[in-house]
Amino acid sequence: MSAAGAWARALHRKARYVIGIRSPVWCSNLIKFGLPKTKIMKLKYALYLWMTLAHLSTLAQVKALVGGTLIDGYGGKPLQNSVVIIEGERILKIGTVGSVEIPRGAEVISTEGMSVMPGLWDMHVHLMINGHSDYTHWDKTYLKLAGNVIMPSSAQQLLLAGVTSARDLGGPLEPSISVRNRINKGEIPGPTLYVSGPFIQHEPYPGTAEFRWGVKGADDARNKVRQLAKAGVDCIKLIDQDEMTMDEVNAVVDEAHRNKLPVVGHSHRPEEILRGLKAGVDCFEHTGLAAAPEYPDDIISMIKERTAQMSKGFLFWTPTVEGLYNYEYTRDNPESLDNDSWHLGLPDSIIRDIRYSIRKPGELGYFQFNPVRKPTLEKKVNQLKQAGVVLLIGTDSGIPMKFHSQSTWNELDIWVNRFGFDPMYAIRAATYWPAVAMKVDKDFGTVTEGKYADIIAVKGDVLRHISLLQDVKMVIKKGKRYK
């Protein structure tokens, strides 16, 4: 008899005992209430069948990941020959082969020769766009499809790339909330999403009012934030704060914090950063400052002053460098654009439209200033790192030629293989620290007993070859295997 068969037989016996099939006292008590013996027996066997099926259902949800090298996300020495037991949505037990008993009947998944690690986070994605080079055309043509086609497609692409959690920064409110909730209910596949809904800024750009909300005065700023909070967003995205009054900026940040929402601020221009720091922005995005070779002393001094105040918590920063850094390589080696992983979930008509828009990579206006900006990126990122900010992996995924199926691993690759960052540092910036930033580290961010089972695996040693993340072999999110 198989192990599963023996386990089922044991459950059968246990169920019969628990419901009292052999208990005359239990039967006589029911008879006293006037229930005929035939109905009692039918009731007992129905209960027995229900309990057996319930136990078997629980058993079917038990998975054992066996044999791989576990990188748990805390930064310590990896655990070789690891065993990770998953029950339902959460991690039940972690140990090594021979030290952890694998439950009978569990689904055993071999991870021999693989690096096993927490699912990745991407802290800066745009689900409403998918690599098209013409934003104006895209918004006019496809915004109405955001909730039912574009954003679900982007979400599924992220998940299959190993991204089990993502922060979506800037999108139409109702579709953003709807897609997040549908994912949470298991209706569509995708990462656990943390959405900002519309940008908050001084004035929306022409044709963007559906996903960019302008503010007129401090009271209006507070009202806009309250509307977003009431709708159920997870954070507030602030942009162009250098065009707002300081009262407006302070009102946005203060009202967000009153509603227990973190504020994510743009940092393309010096005054955006300075005003964001003064107001108490929690996380900044991009490296910015265009072609300036480095951050000026006043900004770095202010960042250092902020990071020295641990009572205010960590200061987070998402540099989003890969899109700019890799442009020239993609321009000269456009074969990667033919990778059809970004087609997933998109109608053929949209795929053709995206392809046409990027058919001449060297002529895209979005990147023409790139040769001047690229040489400044490494210096600026290192300045931020040395100033004490906590750097997070995020990609700006969705911008021209940057697809949700490919962006995240490229960001880690740049950090490690171009900037020289320690691979473990980069991995923690894509696992542990994002969960801390979003205040969900009790449930996410590491492979830990009791936390949700968000786990990925790649073949080989990811600490030696970070680019292995471009081919994730296994994706488990909340205990469910998607790949």
**Three-class secondary structure assignment of 290-341:** CCCCCCCHHHHHHHHHHHCCHHHCCCEEECCCHHHHCHHHHHHCHHHHHCHH
pLDDT, one tens digit per residue, over 306-321 is: 999 999 999 999 999 9
SS3 405: coil
pLDDT, one tens digit per residue, over 310-366 is: 999 999 999 999 999 999 999 999 999 999 999 999 999 999 999 999 999 999 999
Does an H or E element contain 90, and which? strand 90-96
Confidence of residue 3 (pLDDT cuts 50, 70, 90): very low
Which pLDDT score is estimated for 2? 39
Confidence of residue 34 (pLDDT cuts 50, 70, 90): low
Confidence of residue 60 (pLDDT cuts 50, 70, 90): low
Q: Which two tokens stand for residue 328?
A: 């020239």
Does residue 288 lie within any of the structural domains?
yes
Does residue 474 lie within any of the structural domains?
no
pLDDT, one tens digit per residue, over 232-279 is: 999 999 999 999 999 999 999 999 999 999 999 999 999 999 999 999
Sheet holding 62-66, edge to edge: 90-96, 82-87, 62-66, 107-110
Answer whether residue 124 shows pLDDT above 50.
yes
> Among positive and negative, which fits the CA dihedral 411, 413, 419, 421?
positive
Does residue 83 lie within any of the structural domains?
no
Which pLDDT score is estimated for 76? 97
131 exposure class (CB count in 10 Å sphere: 0-12, 13-18, 19+): buried
Whether residues 244 and 385 share a domain: the answer is yes
Q: How far apart are CA 336 and CA 326, in angstroms?
A: 11
Range of the domain at 26: 3-60
Whether residues 50 and 142 share a domain: the answer is no
Answer whether residue 84 shows pLDDT above 80.
yes
Whether residues 339 and 258 share a domain: the answer is yes
Answer whether residue 304 shows pLDDT above 50.
yes
- Phi first, then psi, for residue 368 (nearest 5°) are -65, -25
Whether residues 175 and 262 share a domain: the answer is yes
Answer whether residue 46 shows pLDDT above 70.
no
- Phi first, then psi, for residue 266 (nearest 5°) are -65, 150
Q: How far apart are CA 300 and CA 293, in angstroms?
A: 13
For the chain, state the CA radius of gyration: 26
Does residue 370 lie within any of the structural domains?
yes
Instruction: Determine the average pLDDT of the residues in 57-73.
Output: 87
Half-sphere exposure of 79 (CA within 13 A, CB side): 21
Instruction: Determine the average pLDDT of the residues in 106-131.
Output: 98
Does residue 409 lie within any of the structural domains?
yes
Instruction: Determine the average pLDDT of the residues in 184-188.
Output: 98
Whether residues 290 and 415 share a domain: the answer is yes
Number of domains into which the chain is organized:
2
pLDDT, one tens digit per residue, over 375-384 is: 999 999 999 9
Nearest to 113 by CA among 80, 84, 73, 153: 80
Helices and strands counted in the chain (H then E): 17, 19
Does residue 465 lie within any of the structural domains?
no
User: Identity (one letter) of the amino acid at 453?
Assistant: A
Answer whether residue 227 shows pLDDT above 80.
yes
Distances (CA, A) of 314 to 132, 317, 337, 387, 436: 35, 10, 37, 12, 9
Q: How far apart are CA 344 and CA 130, in angstroms?
A: 11
Answer whether residue 39 shows pLDDT above 70.
no
Whether residues 242 and 137 share a domain: the answer is yes
Nearest to 241 by CA among 265, 217, 259, 261: 265
Kindly report which listed range (32-36, 224-228, 253-257) carries the lowest average pLDDT score: 32-36
Distances (CA, A) of 71 to 64, 78, 115, 318: 16, 5, 7, 22
Domain boundary among 427, 444, 461: 444
Q: How far apart are CA 262 and CA 283, in angstroms?
A: 8
Q: What percent of the chain has pLDDT over 70?
A: 88
Whether residues 129 and 55 share a domain: the answer is no
Nearest to 302 by CA among 286, 324, 319, 280: 280
Whether residues 124 and 55 share a domain: the answer is no
pLDDT, one tens digit per residue, over 369-410 is: 999 999 999 999 999 999 999 999 999 999 999 999 999 999
Listed in sequence order, the residues at least 6 apart from 150 whose beta carbon sits closer than 8 Å to its beta carbon are 127, 128, 129, 130, 142, 346, 350
Whether residues 194 and 319 share a domain: the answer is yes
Yes or no: say if 424 and 348 are a contact pair by the CB < 8 Å rule. no
Domain boundary among 40, 60, 80: 60
Domain boundary among 21, 41, 60: 60
Confidence of residue 23 (pLDDT cuts 50, 70, 90): very low
The more confidently predicted of residues 41 and 413 is 413
User: Identity (one letter) of the amino acid at 55?
Assistant: H
Q: How far apart are CA 149 and CA 198, in angstroms?
A: 19
Kindly report which listed range (23-32, 72-81, 158-167) carries the lowest average pLDDT score: 23-32
pTM: predicted TM-score of the whole model, two decimal places: 0.88
